[in-house]
Amino acid sequence: MANEDRPALVYTTFARLEDAKRVGDVLVAAKLAACVNIFPGMISIFEWKDARDEANEVAMIIKTRASLTEAVLAETKRLHPYELPALLVLPIEGGSAEYCNWIVNETGGSSR
């Protein structure tokens, strides 16, 4: 598998389940993601604008390929309601060849 076709994960969080579903649906429909996993019920503790805060959030993992991560980041940021969304790219070191191929096929096919 070419490096640009290697799977990658993008992690982000949302305040509302509805926002996560909306963004996830757009990413899958646009073939920027093969799948998104949404995890409701997360508690985040953080400092923002010089104040400690705690919030109920929804985590999302976006399954894509390495060559699409910049497009995924840009589209997620464009659609995201947060002023500064958490957007982290998590590279994949390995996995099931069949599943990795599925991710490539669902995100527009091989870029070779």
CA distance 9 to 3: 14
Say if 32 falls within a structural domain: yes
- Phi, psi at 60, each rounded to 5°: -135, 135
Where residue 23 sits, what CATH number does that domain have? 3.30.70.120
Q: What is the mean predicted confidence (pLDDT) over 57-61? A: 98
So what's the pLDDT on residue 35? 98
The answer to whether position 80 is within a domain reads: yes
State the residue for tokens 């982290």: 88
Domain residues for the domain of 27 are 3-106
Among 26, 98, 30, 106, which Cα is nearest to 65's? 106
15 within some domain: yes
Calculate mean pLDDT across residues 11-32.
Answer: 98
Q: Which residues, including other chains, have CB under 8 Å from residue 84's CB and lie 6 or more apart?
A: none
Count how many domains the chain has.
1
Q: Does 112 fall in a domain?
A: no
In a domain, 75, yes or no: yes
Q: Is residue 71 part of a domain?
A: yes
Instruction: Give the pLDDT score at 1.
Output: 64
Q: pTM above the 0.85 mark?
A: yes
Give a yes or no: residue 30 inside a domain: yes
- Give the three-class secondary structure for 91: strand
Count Cα atoms within 13 angstroms, Cβ side, for 83: 2
Q: What percent of the chain has pLDDT over 70?
A: 96
What value does the CA radius of gyration of the chain take, rounded to a whole number of Å? Answer: 15
When pLDDT is averaged across residues 7-17 and rounded to a whole number, the result is 97
pLDDT tens digits, residue range 78-106? 999 999 999 999 988 889 999 999 999 99
For residues 102 and 82, give the distance between their C-alpha atoms in angstroms, rounded to a whole number.
31
* Domain membership flag for residue 111: no
CA 59 – CA 65 distance, rounded (Å): 19
